[in-house]
Structure 1
Amino acid sequence: MEFFKAAFLGESANTGGNQPKTFTYQSETGPVEVPTNPERIVDLSSAPNVFALGGNIVGVDQWTSMNPLFSEELKDVEVVSDESLEKIIELEPDLIIAAPYMKNIDKLKEIAPTVVYTWGKLDYLTQHIEIGKLLNKEKEAREWAEDFKKRAQAAGEIIRAKIGENTTVSVIENDDKQLYVFGNNWARGTEILYQAMGLKMPEIVKEKALGPGYHTLSLEVVPEFAGDYIVLSKYSDGDLSFMETDTWKNIPAVKNNRVIEIDSKASTYSDPITLDHLIEIFEKGFLGN
């Protein structure tokens, strides 16, 4: 432990009295003294939100670095994890953002002030506002959240007027081994569709996926979980053979061309950039604009 602390202090010795002004941020794990205007952020869990707020990210998790919505902008940013401690030290962060399941939280705290967020503990808009508070950009975060909520609600009213108030939508995803159906707060646009737009999910999806967030499916039962519309979250490098089966092709939503495809790798967050990207896809998919 002392090695990490000494190494960081040694690297930062020249900053002297130029350390940024700090404030006490009330995190979910207790108060943390953080820079008022962080200049070098290592983010292992919430990078898209930080990026959307203009935060300067110097280290990012591998998953975010592969996201096509951010890969170009983050191409020169160091890819790190909670286990690459020496690499993080070299980046000289003044703020680290992590998740509670990570192994080395205590060691990260020795390197720089570390704030932990539990994904899903707050709703997606409140989470963004909370990160805005951390970055001293609460005003910007609130303004975006309020604007997005209005835009999504308006779009939802138009969509429901066209497709019908009781028309159902299922969000289904593939990976290499199986299929999943999602509830209303598991990214993939679920927050937009069900929370902001007010679209309905099939009763069986509500029963099985709403609580846990998702439900694993075999191909045979997919028709039971398919809504009048399907939002298909596709991993292009995953197993797509299910799309060639009669079981899939005979689902009414598939036969009626009511499948809206999204890129899974670009849909696993609920930050402003991802949500604005998805709302355009949904408006076009439901309304044909």
Structure 2
Amino acid sequence: VTYTYDKVDYLTQHVEIGKLLNKEKEAQSWVNDFKKRAAKAGSDIKAKIGEDTTISVIENFDKQLYVFGDNWGRGTEILYQEMKLKMPEKVKDMALKDGYYAISPEVLPEYAGDYLIFSKNQDGDTSFEKTDTYKNIPAVKNNHVFEANAKEFYFNDPITLDYQLDFFTQKFLGK
């Protein structure tokens, strides 16, 4: 059985797989519970950091940096779709349609939100972190950069989604 990725939204795909396995009720139950937990966490996060606070998700890969829209893994579905947190306008303009957008380290400040989620590839180039350009980003100065292991943060399967939700709850709320 094959599925075409992105033909349905990131949570409906789990219900579709549940149908195939004769576990539709269990899959739908997990989706409902996940949405409820994510919405609650989003509400709590907004109450703590502010309704208009922006969050960017970045990742290094090889010698390139990327910013992500609301549907390309890396926790973006949770942050933007379920929690209803805001992304910077520049990210919205450039990354929302395709899901991601490649940038150079020099322009990262233009895409940086009040908080940065850094999906970090340890084996990729991270030299930009040593530059004044990076160090002078307000999110960096304010210690609002939350670093995740990229290899644990790529996808949007149930195990990864639960991991990402726990990560955001712990980083933003200390829970």
Normalising by the smaller structure, the TM-score range is: over 0.9
Moved over 4 A (4+): none
2:7 & 2:135 partners in 1: Cα distance?
A: 37
Greater helix share, structure number: 2
Q: Which residue of the partner structure matches residue 274 of structure 1?
A: 160
Question: Which residue of structure 2 aligns with residue 182 of structure 1?
Answer: 68
AA aligned to 1:224 is E
Q: CA deviation at 1:288?
A: 2.4
SS, match of residue 116 in structure 1: coil
Q: Which amino acid aligns with 2:132?
A: D
The two structures have a TM-score, normalised by structure 1, of 0.60
Unaligned runs of 5+ in 1: 1-114
1:169 partner letter: I
Q: Which residue of 225, 236, 240 maps to 2:122?
A: 236
Q: Which amino acid is the alignment partner of residue 37 of structure 2? A: R
Once the two structures are superposed, residues 52-95 of structure 1 have per-residue CA deviations (whole angstroms, 9 ceiling, x without a partner) of xxxxxxxxxxxxxxxxxxxxxxxxxxxxxxxxxxxxxxxxxxxx
Matching residue of 1:121 = 7
2:55 is the counterpart of 1:169: yes
CA contact (8 A) 1:184 1:210 kept: yes
Q: Does residue 20 of structure 2 align to residue 141 of structure 1?
A: no
The two structures, once aligned, show a CA RMSD in angstroms of 0.8
Higher relative contact order (CA 8 A, sep 6+): 2
Code of the aligned partner of 1:226: A
Gaps of 5+ in 2: none
The aligned amino acid for 2:85 is L
- In the alignment, the residues of structure 1 paired with residue 90 and residue 3 of structure 2 have an alpha-carbon distance, to the nearest angstrom, of 31
Q: Secondary structure at the match of 1:118?
A: coil
The match for 2:77 is 191
Structure 2 match to 1:221:
107
Return the offset for 1:195: 0.4
Identity of aligned residues (%): 66
- How far apart, CA to CA, are the structure 2 residues paired with 1:206 and 1:183? 7
Counting only pairs closer than 5 Å after superposition, residues 30-49 of structure 1 correspond to structure 2 as: none
Q: Deviations over 1:261-289 (max 9, x none)?
A: 11111111111100111111101111123
